[in-house]
């Protein structure tokens, strides 16, 4: 992605104001940013829904897996990029009566043979721990269960690029960790993963690179530990983990040396505070 600018149709200002971003196969890239920074817009731009279905004007270049998004059809983009949308409720097709059929829907449309389809649905369901929901209606689920089904429906397509817009927002803590473990597994198999998240502790543990999106541009990039220890995290609206906040406070009160590298995760914090 180079020099990407985008404004929604009829909007008087741009949401993306010059985004440069690259993600390699096998990488988990985290993107954080304040509400309104343009995260969902960026997610949709990578996945081709912007500008293909939302309209509006996108300038600059988006290339995914060798394909120029602007010149391709949405179908071509979708075959390479999977987008897990922010509100799982809106991702449900509405065409299927059971969770099993819902998860299989994408493969069915590609004409994948029944046996293979069934095997893949079982595998994904087992990985996400949702096999017991298979015979339910996709609408007769709790919010978190629906979110797991939405993730399953994308994962099963095995896209080369997986874009996830706050995929764990409604998941319980174990479910959130499970999804991040799965994401690391997909990256190990060569998938490029872009994950938009507010859960900083999990990003520190699972993302290879972290970018901050602020006012429509990438304001900072680096390892999660570097980025999240940056004094500007509050200014960007990104916040900080309780580990970081506790260390900052301890430094203020001279309980830790001013030169302490700020901890972001439990492991970091244990090292800092056990001294």
Ligand X SMILES: Nc1ncnc2c1ncn2[C@@H]1O[C@H](COP(=O)(O)OP(=O)(O)OP(=O)(O)O)[C@@H](O)[C@H]1O
- Minimum gap (Å) between residue 147 Cβ and ligand X: 8
Site membership for other proteins, residue 53 (CB under 8 A): no
Question: Which residue intervals of the chain are DSSP H helices?
Answer: 39-46, 49-52, 74-78, 88-91, 99-109, 114-128, 143-155, 173-188, 200-206, 224-228, 242-252, 266-273
- Picking from 80, 81, 76, 131, the residue whose alpha carbon sits closest to that of residue 103 is 131
User: What is the 8-class DSSP label of residue 239?
Assistant: -
- Minimum gap (Å) between residue 139 Cβ and ligand X: 6
- Over the window 232 to 271, marking each residue x when it contacts other proteins by CB under 8 A and - when it does not, the resulting string is --x--xxxxxxx-xx--xx--x-x----------x--xx-
Site membership for other proteins, residue 59 (CB under 8 A): no
Q: Token match 């390479």: residue?
A: 80
266, two tokens: 């439990």
240 binds, among ligand X, other proteins, Mg ion, none (CB under 5 to 8 A by kind): other proteins
Both ends of the chain: CA-CA distance in Å? 44
- Picking from 160, 183, 153, 165, the residue whose alpha carbon sits closest to that of residue 64 is 160
Contact pick of 60, 144, 222, 239 for ligand X (by CB under 6 A): 144
126 binds, among other proteins, ligand X, Mg ion, none (CB under 5 to 8 A by kind): none
Residues in contact with other proteins by CB under 8 A are 33-36, 40, 86-87, 89-90, 136-137, 140-145, 147-148, 166, 169-176, 198, 201, 234, 237-243, 245-246, 249-250, 253, 255, 266, 269-270, 273-274
The contact set with ligand X (CB under 6 A) reads 140-145, 170
């Amino acid at each position: 992605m180079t020099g990407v600018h985008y404004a929604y149709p009829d909007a008087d200002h741009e949401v993306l104001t010059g985004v440069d971003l690259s993600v390699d196969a096998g990488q988990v890239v985290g993107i954080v940013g304040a509400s309104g920074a343009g995260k969902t817009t960026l997610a949709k731009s990578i996945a081709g829904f912007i500008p293909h279905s939302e309209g509006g004007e996108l300038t600059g270049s988006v290339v995914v897996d060798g394909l120029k998004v602007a010149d391709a059809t949405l179908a071509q983009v979708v075959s390479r990029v999977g987008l897990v949308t922010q509100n799982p409720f809106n991702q449900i097709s509405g065409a299927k009566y059971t969770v099993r059929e819902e998860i299989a829907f994408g493969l069915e449309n590609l004409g994948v043979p029944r046996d293979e389809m069934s095997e893949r649905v079982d595998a994904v369901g087992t990985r996400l721990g949702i096999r017991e929901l298979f015979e339910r209606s996709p609408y007769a689920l709790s919010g978190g269960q629906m979110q797991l089904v939405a993730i399953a429906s994308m994962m099963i397509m095995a896209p080369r690029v997986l874009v996830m817009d706050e995929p764990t927002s409604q998941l319980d803590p174990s479910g959130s960790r499970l999804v991040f473990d799965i994401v690391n597994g997909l990256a190990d198999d060569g998938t490029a993963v872009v994950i938009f998240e507010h859960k900083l502790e999990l990003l520190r543990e699972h993302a290879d690179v972290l970018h901050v999106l602020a006012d429509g541009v990438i304001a900072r990039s680096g390892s999660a530990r570097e980025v999240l220890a940056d004094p500007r995290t509050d200014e960007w609206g990104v916040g900080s983990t309780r580990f970081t906040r506790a260390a900052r406070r301890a430094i203020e009160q001279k309980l830790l040396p001013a030169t302490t590298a700020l901890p972001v995760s439990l492991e970091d914090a244990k090292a800092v505070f056990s001294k």
